[in-house]
Chains A and B, each alone.
Chain A
Amino acid sequence: MAAWLTGAAAGVPRPGIVIAKPGQCVADKDTMRRSHMDFLKHQRDQTVRQGIRTREHSLNECVACHAGEKSGSVLGQDGFCQSCHSYAAVELDCFECHSAKPKPVAKP
């Protein structure tokens, strides 16, 4: 019963989230799942309107950490963002404009 309530029963489809670089995110998992969109929206207004460029809730930092190892992107079937957004049927508009791949590291 408890397993059914938490949705962990066998046969229930789950999004295939692959975390390429496991480590510490800027907040715990539950907070991020519930509030990442609010963090991003708050940050985006501050950055565009006022030029505040703190890295904690910056989309570029999300991408830098969460881009898939093989694809180098957060999109695609196994992409960190897209896999979950497809599962939840929530449109993912960020990457219509933003780059889904991290900035290439400048070669010395």
Chain B
Amino acid sequence: MTDRRRFLELSAAALAGIALAPGIRLIQVAAARPLDAPASGKVRWGLLIDTSRCGDDCDACLSACRKENHLPQGELRRTDAQWIRKVAVKDMRSGSARQVPMMCQHCAKPPCVDVCPTGASFKRADGIVLVDRHICIGCRYCMMACPYKARSFVHEPTTGQNPEVPRGQGCVEGCHLCVHRIDRNELPACVEACAATGRKAMLFGDLNDPAAEIAQRIAQVATAQVRADLRLDPGVRYQGL
């Protein structure tokens, strides 16, 4: 019982942010957004992926994503949606190889939003790039515009969706940072699964909050944005790439 209570207290502390001193807490914005409040423009959600901690044979984030969002399971077919994939990168000279999880990079200046003819691709106030499937016509311009190949088209009818993650044939989709989980103050499924393996290669948080762990890590260690030359300012950063 004591152990359980202690665990609950610890989890509550982790959720609410670390108490600096009585009354002062980190991640205050994230801790309390009521159901009827819109996403805040003061927040910018982002990910930091430490590639040195990411295991070559580990696919915890991929399977967690498929499970959470009810994406096709089993052997991957060419037409199946992939919201997150592991990309193998290798330095030919040194032979150093890395597996890098790649998903929608949630750019500050997303090209998918620029090219969308209907306004279905959009960036939410807190920096999450989403598809409004209600007005997506499935033209796939965004898939061509995205330099990260982050979006997929749903070719086949869908059944048994997660009630919180509607998805259907004829629309383009991509990683939504588990926006339904973020809105109730939970971590994205991939981040949670990665932490559960003990590798802790993925860190999620508010890039705009100087007190957040992710912002502090980015300020301290060298991190990279993929294709930074495009100046899209992705919200996903990589360490050790």
Contacts and interface: CB of A to CB of B under 8 A. Distances in A.
Contacts of A55: 35
Given A96-B169, A98-B166, A48 B161 contact: no
A97 interface: yes
Contacts of B160: 99
Contact of B164 (A60, A97, A101): A60
B122 interface: yes
Contact of B162 (A44, A52, A54, A99): A99
A99 B165 CA distance: 9
A63 interface: yes
Nearest to B126: A51
A81 B89 CA distance: 50
Size category of the A interface is 20 to 34
B183 A44 contact: no
A107 interface: no
B104 to A, nearest CB: 16
Contacts of A96: 157, 168-169
Given A51-B39, A54-B35, A97 B124 contact: no
A52 B38 contact: yes
Contacts of B162: 99, 103
Interface of B: 35-39, 122, 124-126, 130, 132-134, 157-158, 160-164, 166-169, 171, 179, 183-184
Given A49-B132, A99-B163, A102-B163, 18 more contacts: A44-B134, A45-B134, A49-B122, A50-B38, A50-B125, A52-B36, A52-B38, A53-B35, A54-B35, A54-B36, A55-B35, A60-B164, A96-B157, A96-B169, A97-B161, A97-B168, A98-B163, A101-B163
